[in-house]
Amino acid sequence: MWHSLLSEIPKGNFKALARAISLVENEVPGFEAFLQAIPTGNTPVTGITGPPGAGKSTLVDALIGQWVSAGKKVAVLCVDPSSPFHLGALLGDRIRMSEWYNQPLVYIRSLATRGSLGGLHPHILDIVALLQAGHFDHIIVETVGVGQSEIEITGLADTTIVVLVPEAGDEVQNMKAGLMEIADIFVVNKADRPDADRFVKNLQMLLTAAPQPNGWELKVLKTIASEKIGIDELVAEIDQHIQIHQHSDRKVWLLAEKAWQLIQRDRMKGMDKKLLYDEIGALSADPSFNLFSFCAKYAGATKNNRLEK
């Protein structure tokens, strides 16, 4: 099974890709060895994030149209909140992007966060690697849009786009520090609304004090995604950012960040949250119970179990 998927994904077989993603999502035995065998791809990843209601999905739809019209092959991962009952995606962005169902140049997959606090899927790095092995020209990852925790996208995407709307003035003030750290491009969507120009001007003033890594100038672009207005400028800005950072320290930093996340995930493997809950429930009745001492002993026991294996 794994061998056939390994040979079909680089050929652009969407069915094989979908099957592989499902197997990796569900951690079917053999998935780790499979991931180690897939060819390394260099497809740039564009992260789309921002608060709910900013029009992220509409913007993604417009970007797909722009790239497909240029003959580009595009993969999209739409990360939705997950159901507390079956852990599946609640929103299902593929419904909102139905125009691309039968387009041979487009692959769209909805993923659930499955409780991940970063606004992404716990196997997002694995799935992006599978898409890169499929030789796409562009990969788009749209996050849930959950505030400060969406900073996780910066460890995944080559270019991070923060989408806002003119009414987001107070929200920008509250999120300012995090936004400045993760954004490569700001997009003010629904720019036909009142006070859009004033909002853009205020946002630009905030950016003047922000550090400019590797000579990149943070820009604020206006779009009306529902009418495909401003998309040409956005695509040009994304392409420029990809070119500048293709051979910069940012690429090394991204690889190190991904390695950190994968190693961290591996170290947490075998941790049973229900068992942890039961143990704390039994011990917490003791007035002398100390959470920090418990965690230190628990971590030591877990390490010893690993060494024994």
pLDDT digits (tens, 9 = 90+) for 202-213: 888 877 766 565
Residue 8 placed within a domain: yes
Q: Do residue 206 and residue 95 come from a single domain?
A: yes
Q: Kindly report the CA angle at 148 between 249 and 82, in degrees rounded to 5?
A: 105
pLDDT at residue 307, rounded to an integer: 44
Helix axes 14-25, 124-133, angle to 10 degrees: 160
Torsion of CA 208, 210, 214, 219, to 10 degrees: -50
Whole-number Cα distances in Å, 78 to 61, 89, 97, 103, 139: 11, 9, 10, 17, 11
Q: Do residue 179 and residue 288 come from a single domain?
A: no
pLDDT at residue 85, rounded to an integer: 38
Q: Do residue 120 and residue 87 come from a single domain?
A: yes
Residue 251 placed within a domain: yes
Sheet holding 74-80, edge to edge: 106-112, 74-80, 138-142, 45-49, 159-164, 185-188, 219-222
Q: Do residue 195 and residue 304 come from a single domain?
A: no
Enumerate residue ranges in the chain where pLDDT < 50.
Answer: 82-94, 115-118, 146-149, 306-309
Q: Do residue 75 and residue 93 come from a single domain?
A: yes
Q: Do residue 90 and residue 15 come from a single domain?
A: no
Longest Cα–Cα distance of the chain, Å, equals 67
Count structural domains, the chain. 3
Q: Do residue 2 and residue 120 come from a single domain?
A: no
pLDDT at residue 261, rounded to an integer: 79
Which residues form the domain of 295?
A: 273-308
pLDDT at residue 83, rounded to an integer: 43
Residue 268 placed within a domain: no
**Helix (H) or strand (E) run with residue 80 in it:** strand 74-80
Looking at the DSSP bridge assignments, the partners of residue 46 are 140, 159
Q: Do residue 212 and residue 257 come from a single domain?
A: yes
Q: State how far the Cα of 178 lies from the Cα of 221, in Å rounded to an integer.
A: 19
The closest alpha carbon to 75, from 168, 141, 21, belongs to 141
Q: What is the CATH number of the domain that holds 222?
A: 3.40.50.300
Residue 50: other Cβ atoms inside 10 A: 26
Q: State how far the Cα of 97 lies from the Cα of 210, in Å rounded to an integer.
A: 35
φ/ψ of 100, rounded to 5, equals -100, 10
Tokens found for residue 12:
């652009």
Asked whether 61 and 99 are in contact (CB, 8 A), the reply is yes
